[in-house]
Structure 1
Amino acid sequence: MQALQFSATGSLDSLLLCDRPKPVPGAGEVLIEVRAAGLNPSDVKNVLGRFPYTTTPRVPGRDFAGVVVDGPQELLGKAVWGGTGKGFSFTQDGCHAQYVVVPADAVAAKPELLTFAQAATCGVPFITAWDALERSQVRAGTRFLILGAGAVARAAQALAKARGANVVMGARRADVVQNLEAQGISAFQLPEAEQLPEQAQAHFQQHSPEVIFDTTGYWLPAAVNTVATFGRVAVIAAPVDGLVSMPVLNLYRRGGSIVGVNSLLYSLEDCAKMLEQISAAFEGAIPVSDDFTERPLSEAVAAYHQLHEGGSKKIVLVP
């Protein structure tokens, strides 16, 4: 089979398309014919050596959608999606290949409303967003402020709206805000950090947000100064050195909580369970997105370089 593989971390130069034997599933496993695989920023970071536990040689790729072609009889021929979790593409081969083997309970039925390519874009952003919403207790009526407008932020907006939360997004660029508003999403242009509390209250009828999701990692101090009493601030990223100055006295005075969100803390099986719940949301009110570019697996190396060099549009690799 054709597969992408890197033999060492530290540079995209080690990434090559090669021929490898088709994997054979063991007991309790399934062989998936990959119909589409998402390319995430974490895939690029993996090859660049940002995850110290990665072993090589390794096939990268965290998110996939495909068809079961070998394994338990009841799963044969089923359209499934999966991936994202701990170890997958880091210490075991991922899905940027024609076939991938995973545990049988590490896949979920693909929502019928989604094409294979659409499903392959969802794993990392939607599982990360789902975890953030669950652990920060976003429910119907929750005043929920999302900082940033990337894939995770948009997934969080869609999932939170489906739950009935009162959702507002804040983004740096005016054109991004205009695009969000054109889609019927309440949004505002992020001000200077010290003005965030006032701006947030203006969009929640003079109330502070009960939950803030900082999808950038750079607004944590401002979020602490903005969140309501007993509020929660979820965060998924941080500066390269891992450090950020935070007004902990204000957090204490508000009785606030910081929630770190990391999809790599979950197993493939855990992620499949989340995807089952996310599937139900897609069958309901979540709109289906086509905001991605499909590229053949034969162009995967170029796609990695494109994303690394600042490509903003989601890429899906199609074997």
Structure 2
Amino acid sequence: MKALQFSKTGDLAALTVVERPTPTPAAGEVLVQVKAAGLNPSDVKNVLGRFPYTTLPRIPGRDFAGVVVEGPSALIGQAVWGTGKDLGFYRDGAHAGYLTLPTEGVARKPEALSFVQAASLGVPYTTAWDALQRTGVAAGTRLLVIGANGAVGSAAIALANVLGARVLAAVRRPEQARLLREQGVEVVVLEQPEALAGEVNAVFSAGAEVIFDTTGHWVPAAVPALAVFGRLAIIAAPLDGHVQLPALALYRKGGSVVGVNSLLYSSAECARMLNQFGQYFDQGLLPLPRDLQETPLVEGLLSYAQVNDGSSAKVVLIP
């Protein structure tokens, strides 16, 4: 089978197209023929050496959709999707024609999603779902999503709408705000950090019960916008890993900070999440992905470079 593989880290030049034998599943595993595989920024960072626990040589790729071709009889021929912390890091991932993983690491693909659409959603949607669940977002929750135009932010808004939350989006550019407003989303434009609390309170008079900062850059400004006993979820941080947290203001509000890291969850744990919210696609409650960039797997090296250069296109590799 064709696969992308790297044997050292630090440079995308280490990633090459190789010919590998089709893997053989062990006891308790399935063999999946990969129909489509998402390309996430973390896949690129993996090749660049940002994850010290990655073992080499390694086929990268966390998100996939495909068909089970070996495993329990009840699963053979089933369309499945998945993601997880193990794939691409300490077991071979999805940027190949086939992959093996634990039987419980696959979830039934929603019928409403094509293979390409399903492969584009794993990391963004499990990250957003984890953030909303761990911060207690439910019907009526006043939720602010910072960086709402990104993949995780968009997923958070879609899932929060299904849960019945009151959603306020925050983005940097007026054109991003315009697109969200056309979708019926209430929006504030991020300008001066000190103005954020006033803008949020103009919409949520008692502040936001939950703030999900998908950028990592608005944590200091977000704390004053929190409601009493509010929860602040974060998934990223500046390059040096440090922010100035106004701890006194957080303490006085009884607020809490929740770190959200999708790489804490195995493929089996992610499959349970996918099963929890995947039904919403078939019920017509979640939007179907659009504007996906399909690229042949053998041309994936260029796609890795584009993502590393900051491209916002959602790339799906096709073996």
- Scaled by the length of structure 1, the TM-score of the pair is 0.98
The Cα shift of 1:42 comes to: 0.4
Tell me the number of residue pairs that the alignment of Structure 1 and Structure 2 aligns. Answer: 317
The Cα shift of 1:207 comes to: 2.8
Query: What residue is the counterpart of 1:141 in the other structure?
Result: 140
Query: What residue is the counterpart of 1:312 in the other structure?
Result: 312
Which ranges of structure 2 fall in alignment gaps of 5 or more residues? Answer: none
Residue 126 (structure 1) aligned with residue 125 (structure 2): yes
Residue 240 (structure 1) aligned with residue 253 (structure 2): no
Query: What residue is the counterpart of 2:32 in the other structure?
Result: 32
Query: What residue is the counterpart of 1:15 in the other structure?
Result: 15
Query: What residue is the counterpart of 1:53 in the other structure?
Result: 53
Residue 77 (structure 1) aligned with residue 71 (structure 2): no
Q: Secondary structure at the match of 2:74?
A: helix
The Cα shift of 1:314 comes to: 0.3
Query: What residue is the counterpart of 2:218 in the other structure?
Result: 219
Contact between 2:62 and 2:85, CA under 8 Å: does it hold in 1?
no
Task: Report the more deviating stretch, 135-144 or 239-248.
Answer: 239-248
The Cα shift of 1:39 comes to: 0.2
The Cα shift of 1:14 comes to: 0.3
| Cα distance between partner residues in 2 of 1:256 and 1:281 | 31
Which ranges of structure 1 fall in alignment gaps of 5 or more residues? Answer: none
Q: Secondary structure at the match of 2:252?
A: helix
| Cα distance between partner residues in 2 of 1:236 and 1:2 | 33
Structure 1 residue runs of 4 or more that deviate by more than 4 Å after TM superposition? none
Q: Secondary structure at the match of 1:228?
A: strand
Letter in structure 1 aligned against 2:286: I
1:61-210 equivalences in 2 (<5 Å): 61-83=61-83, 85-148=84-147, 149-204=149-204, 206-210=205-209
Query: What residue is the counterpart of 2:280 in the other structure?
Result: 281
Contact between 2:144 and 2:210, CA under 8 Å: does it hold in 1?
yes
| Cα distance between partner residues in 1 of 2:56 and 2:25 | 21
What percentage of residue pairs aligned between the two structures are identical? Answer: 56
The Cα shift of 1:238 comes to: 0.5
Give CA deviations for 1:161-204 in whole Å, capped at 9, x if unaligned: 00000001000011111111112221121121111011011222
Query: What residue is the counterpart of 2:44 in the other structure?
Result: 44
The Cα shift of 1:95 comes to: 0.4
1:264-303 equivalences in 2 (<5 Å): 264-284=263-283, 285-303=285-303
The Cα shift of 1:94 comes to: 0.5
| Cα distance between partner residues in 2 of 1:278 and 1:14 | 36
| Cα distance between partner residues in 1 of 2:70 and 2:182 | 45
RMSD: 0.8
Give CA deviations for 1:78-100 in whole Å, capped at 9, x if unaligned: 000001x2222111110000000
Contact between 2:82 and 2:106, CA under 8 Å: does it hold in 1?
yes
The Cα shift of 1:233 comes to: 0.2
Q: Secondary structure at the match of 1:154?
A: helix
- Scaled by the length of structure 2, the TM-score of the pair is 0.98
Give CA deviations for 1:18-54 in whole Å, capped at 9, x if unaligned: 1001000111110000000000000000000111111
| Cα distance between partner residues in 1 of 2:52 and 2:174 | 37
The Cα shift of 1:3 comes to: 0.4
The Cα shift of 1:56 comes to: 1.1
